[in-house]
Structure 1
Amino acid sequence: MDSGKLRVAVVGCGQIADAHLAEVRKIRTAEVVAVCDSYPELARQAAERFGVARTDTDVARMLAEVRPDVVHVTTPPHSHAPLALQALAAGAHVYVEKPFTVTVAEADEVLAAAARHGRLVCVGHDQLFDPCWAELRACHRRGDLGRVVHVDSVMGYDLSGPFGRVLAGDPDHWVHRLPGGLFQNNISHALYKITDFLPDERPAVWATWFGQSGRVPTELRVMLRGAEATAGVLFSSQARPVQRVARVYGTKACVEADLDAQTLRWTRPAGMPGPFGKVQRPWRHLTEAARAWTRSVWRFARSDLHYFAGMNALFRAFYRAIAAGEPSPTPPGDIRRVTVIMDDIFETCRRQEGGGK
């Protein structure tokens, strides 16, 4: 083993851990030295699939004996805070899968511990590091959008998928014990795209959730109002196709980011009068689509067009920050803002269910 590499341990060997293990394996400056799960068979299978030498069922023992530089927490959300605190106390930097914690009180505790121990924490806001979102951020920094006045974030969820079928068929599944249920495990993806443009510490929240035929809530609608901009969230398990789309509306232009297609589609003021402008807009969209197709083909040829491209980029950014002694690529303030908004959304929805009490 190259002693110059960051020594990475993964705690939790469920479905998302496979993505972590696969992406870390692509990074030459890091090496997974241990996997840990309370179910020994899950740990053993993960180690076999990804060639990891050490398996364990006891986090404290693994931390003491392996002494990893970085711990990835890929367990259910209710265990994120205690495991992150344990890893930080052992001297490790910590990457936590979304959602960061179940409540903002837990988030504050973890962030304070990281500062106290002089370690970095990072959360799985990986879609901010997808190529198309990185391009959108660069365009915004150049001033292409002008002042942002509204953001819409759409997130679809397939309840007929492997994870969806399990939670829908098991009333005792851990998802149902979260304050936000199904949404708490997923909605941070929709929210951090909004907070990327909505800087308010605590925007005003209106939210409602509902299910079909008396089932547990599977649909969520949210409106946020900040000092200078507003935002909306559409989380749907019914809309097809399942989408990951955000639309950003600015004073100069509007743009739609399709995270599945990895494309940006711009709408700008017409540069030509009357009917000529009506011809110009589809022409612009056509040329944009042609350029996007060319880029996608090139990325496909380089084996760089895949679902977890943003995750890989975020891992690399986090590891670089550790090596260079720089701040985390997901700043503590951003982590906290998303958690605060989640708390407010779920409290608003529960209050509505209780008749506004």
Structure 2
Amino acid sequence: MTFSLGIVGAGQFSGRFARLFLAHPGVSDVYVTDLIPERAEGLAAAEGLAGTFPDYEAMLESAAVDAVAIFTQRWTHGPLVLQGLAAGKHVYSTVPMAISAQEIAEIIDAVRATGLTYMMGETSHYHPATVHARDRIAEGAFGRVFYAEGDYVHDMDLGFYDAYRHSGGEEWRSTASYPPMLYPTHSVGGVLGAWRTHAVSVSAIGVVDERGDEVFDRSVSRF
């Protein structure tokens, strides 16, 4: 039995997943929608997708789509996930799941109420090292696990500013400052993906921005 999938957001990231979805034997048709119709049409043509929808609402209303995969801006995931579940669709989203504890709780409640599936695609969970550690911990090979560390670094000079300009337009600086602690999933995903535990408290130490490019200026950043 297969199911159909609707991709939400045709930016730089979703094309790679479109190819993977199409290659999966459990997925039949793949559709796409984007706020910029030309991007959706371009992705559909480039990857041979089944078609496009004019907007997210039209996709959710369509009986041709069984599930949606959200590849939009990071701070939009929570509301879009809830909207998808309310429409009776299974939902996959890239990280983060949401940007507030309230949004996360609402998603959990919606999944319980609807019986639908929500998945956050945390890549660190599937890294070979994480998979190996997860298997070995489950076997008891590491003995009592009581401490672990995880690190993840994004060098903003290696293409990220270009990506922000692509997605943010003239106002890209206002969202390029998205706070790391609203997006900690890659750094903690390896540890929590291997070790079946959870965090009970969180703290953060920041550094003063010295780049002088206005990205982290309070008068510019929406965060």
Same fold at TM > 0.5: yes
Overall identity of the aligned pairs, in %: 24
For residues 50 and 171 of structure 2, the distance between their equivalents in structure 1, rounded to whole angstroms, comes to 34
Give the AA of the match of 1:19.
R
* Residue of structure 1 equivalent to 2:66: 69
Alpha-carbon offset, residue 117 of structure 1:
1.3
1:7 and 2:12 correspond: no
**Are the aligned partners of 1:71 and 1:92 in contact in 2 as well (CA < 8 Å)?**
yes
For residues 133 and 38 of structure 1, the distance between their equivalents in structure 2, rounded to whole angstroms, comes to 36
Which one of the candidate residues 46, 61, 75 is aligned to 1:49?
46
Which one of the candidate residues 152, 156, 165 is aligned to 1:155?
152
- Aligned length in residues: 210
SS in 1 for 2:147: strand
1:172 and 2:147 correspond: no
1:88 and 2:89 correspond: no
Alpha-carbon distance change, 32 to 67 in structure 1, aligned in 2, over 3 angstroms = closer
**Are the aligned partners of 1:155 and 1:190 in contact in 2 as well (CA < 8 Å)?**
yes
For residues 31 and 19 of structure 2, the distance between their equivalents in structure 1, rounded to whole angstroms, comes to 14
Alpha-carbon distance change, 147 to 78 in structure 1, aligned in 2, over 3 angstroms = same
* Residue of structure 2 equivalent to 1:355: none
For each residue in 1:198-239, what CA deviation from the matched residue of structure 2 results, as whole angstroms up to 9, or x when unmatched? 724513x3321114426556xxxxxxxxxxxxxxxxxxxxxx
**Are the aligned partners of 2:9 and 2:33 in contact in 1 as well (CA < 8 Å)?**
yes
Give the AA of the match of 1:137.
R
For residues 139 and 66 of structure 1, the distance between their equivalents in structure 2, rounded to whole angstroms, comes to 43
Alpha-carbon offset, residue 170 of structure 1:
5.8
For residues 209 and 160 of structure 1, the distance between their equivalents in structure 2, rounded to whole angstroms, comes to 19
Give the AA of the match of 1:110.
I
**Are the aligned partners of 2:85 and 2:111 in contact in 1 as well (CA < 8 Å)?**
yes
TM (normalized to structure 1)?
Answer: 0.54
Alpha-carbon offset, residue 10 of structure 1:
0.6
**Are the aligned partners of 2:19 and 2:47 in contact in 1 as well (CA < 8 Å)?**
yes
RMSD: 2.4
Give the AA of the match of 2:126.
F
1:117 and 2:114 correspond: yes
* Residue of structure 1 equivalent to 2:96: 99
Correspondence list, 1:154-303, <5 A? 154-167=151-164, 172-176=173-177, 178=178, 180=179, 182=180, 184-185=182-183, 187-196=184-193, 197=195, 199-203=197-201, 205-213=202-210, 215=212
Q: Which runs of 5+ in 1 are unaligned?
A: 218-349, 351-357
Give the AA of the match of 2:188.
L
Alpha-carbon distance change, 34 to 101 in structure 1, aligned in 2, over 3 angstroms = same
Q: Which runs of 5+ in 2 are unaligned?
A: 217-222
Alpha-carbon offset, residue 46 of structure 1:
0.9
